[in-house]
């Protein structure tokens, strides 16, 4: 039986992970301590580690005795930590990309294709030791173009003035929502 306490705990942990991912822009891609934290924190690695440790503690406490739910939540926390520790957009794990394919539109492969087409060609043909996580085809390129056209239009119409970093962060937060709906839908 799914209890209100379980539902509330899942939502609380979701909120805590949301807060961690929402620091992406404010911390300049997890590279700088936020201004309001500089007096108490010196190192971004420790700062983010403490945030994630708080989430782990909440998970361990909330789901003590429920191994299956605890393991599912730990997987999401591990995936979040992998992203946070990679300090970049390409750090999004494959599972999250399969749950929300729109997050792929931010992959560096697209920038490389546009800004350094010769280098991209060499990489995509296996002529270098470098590997990309994505090799966009025409359909993906067109879908990405349409996605960013919609974002740009919304940005202009609503006077949002979102940076590319904020747009990515918003899609990352949307991905977190989709991950929780995918993994914990029956509990919500």
For 142-165, the pLDDT digits (tens) are 999 999 999 999 999 999 999 999
**Residue 89's pLDDT band (boundaries 50, 70, 90)?**
low
* Mean pLDDT on 175-181: 99
DSSP character string of 65-129:
T-HHHHHHHHHHHHHHHHHHHHTSGGGS-HHHHHH-GGGGGG-HHHHHHHH-HHHHHHHHTT-SS
**Residue 2's pLDDT band (boundaries 50, 70, 90)?**
confident
């Amino acid at each position: 039986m799914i209890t209100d306490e379980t539902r509330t705990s899942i939502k609380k942990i979701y909120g805590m992970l949301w807060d961690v991912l929402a620091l992406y822009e404010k911390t300049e891609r997890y590279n700088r301590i936020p201004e309001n934290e500089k007096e108490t924190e010196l190192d971004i690695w420790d700062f983010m580690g403490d945030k994630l440790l708080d989430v782990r503690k909440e998970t361990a406490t909330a789901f003590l005795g429920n191994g299956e739910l605890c393991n599912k939540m730990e997987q999401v926390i591990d995936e979040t930590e992998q992203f946070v520790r990679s300090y970049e957009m390409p750090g999004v794990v494959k599972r999250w990309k399969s749950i929300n394919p729109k997050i792929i539109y931010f992959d560096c492969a697209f920038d490389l294709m546009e800004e350094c087409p010769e280098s991209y060609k060499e990489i995509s043909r296996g002529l270098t030791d470098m590997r990309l996580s994505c090799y966009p085809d025409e359909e993906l390129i067109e879908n990405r173009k349409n996605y960013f056209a919609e974002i740009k239009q919304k940005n202009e119409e609503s006077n949002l003035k979102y940076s590319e970093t904020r747009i990515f962060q918003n899609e990352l937060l949307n991905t977190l929502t989709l991950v929780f709906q995918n993994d914990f839908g029956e509990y919500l």
